Structure 1
Amino acid sequence: MHFEFDQSSPIYQQLADQMEEMIFSGLFPEGDQVPSTTQLSQELHINPATVLKGMNMLVDQQLLEKRRGRGMFVTAGAQEKIMEKRKEGFYQNYVASLIQEATKLGITEDHLLTLIQRGYQNGNTQN
């Protein structure tokens, strides 16, 4: 388990994002317990309140659940929730702007689909 922090956003947000990635990648499998707030704050040398704020973000997103006296655990279906969130983000961040730019360039839907198919056939986006 390795965390990296920078100045791009608050530490609690970066912690939540990195823990989400660890859940998505299976490092923290569904049903498993995640490290405690105390463990993380000591290991990462950050304030326990900062760790708790990041972890509570994941609780609010229903990716982690608190079990009284036992700790926090990855919820069933957490990976699927992350996948759906990322798919929607992909649409918002890439597809919508792709369509907007294609429209400006006069690229029809059919031609855009052809270009996308060409990208898949070539296995990259360099062409």
Structure 2
Amino acid sequence: MISLDSSKPIYVQIAEWLETEILRDRLKKDEKVYSQYQLAEMFTINPATAAKGLTILVNEEILYKKRGLGMFVTKEAKKIIQNKRKTNLLEEKVIDLVNEANYLEINEQSLIDMIKKANEEIRKESK
């Protein structure tokens, strides 16, 4: 959800939240997304802030505009988001994780084992 305490701007959080909705298949290709006014009401924010979040996704070709109808999910949205998060977010987290493991003197195999265990637990929970 959106956090007013986050150092991340609210409009960026809106864009990321919509991306997550697309990744979870709650918003599918060619499906209409929430308007800036709906987002503003949902998160109790200014409509202009919500519009900035939507604009980010239009600029990244995750959403497209239909004049007079609103914004819709592009056919390639999920793939674009996956690639973006893989190259930006996930790689940064892996670097942070490896650095922290090195500080704690955790060897590579132990770290791999920890990742495998966490993955198994997450898969069990999602069933």
Q: Normalising by structure 2, what TM-score?
A: 0.72
Q: 2:118 aligns with which of 94, 107, 124?
A: 124
Corresponding residue for residue 93 of structure 2: 93
Larger Rg: 1
CA distance in structure 2 between the partners assigned to 1:26 and 1:5 by the alignment: 23
The CA deviation string for residues 55-91 of structure 1, in whole angstroms up to 9 with x for no partner, is: 1011111111111111100111111111111211212
Corresponding residue for residue 21 of structure 1: 20
State the 1:101 CA deviation.
6.1
State the 1:6 CA deviation.
2.1
CA distance in structure 2 between the partners assigned to 1:11 and 1:117 by the alignment: 35
Aligned residues: 117
Q: What SS does the aligned partner of 2:52 have? A: helix
Gaps of 5+ in 1: none
Corresponding residue for residue 123 of structure 2: none
Change (3 A) 1:34 1:116: same
CA distance in structure 1 between the partners assigned to 2:59 and 2:23 by the alignment: 17
RMSD: 2.9
Segment of structure 1 superposing worse, 91-100 or 41-50: 91-100
State the 1:36 CA deviation.
1.5
Change (3 A) 1:94 1:30: same
Q: What SS does the aligned partner of 1:27 have? A: coil
Q: What is the identity percentage for the equivalent residue pairs of Structure 1 and Structure 2?
A: 31
Q: What SS does the aligned partner of 2:118 have? A: coil
Map 1:1-127; keep pairs closer than 5 Å. Answer: 3-8=1-6, 9-88=8-87, 89-95=89-95, 98=98, 112=108, 114-115=109-110, 118-119=113-114, 123-124=117-118
Q: Normalising by structure 1, what TM-score?
A: 0.72
Moved over 6 A (4+): none
Q: What SS does the aligned partner of 1:33 have? A: coil
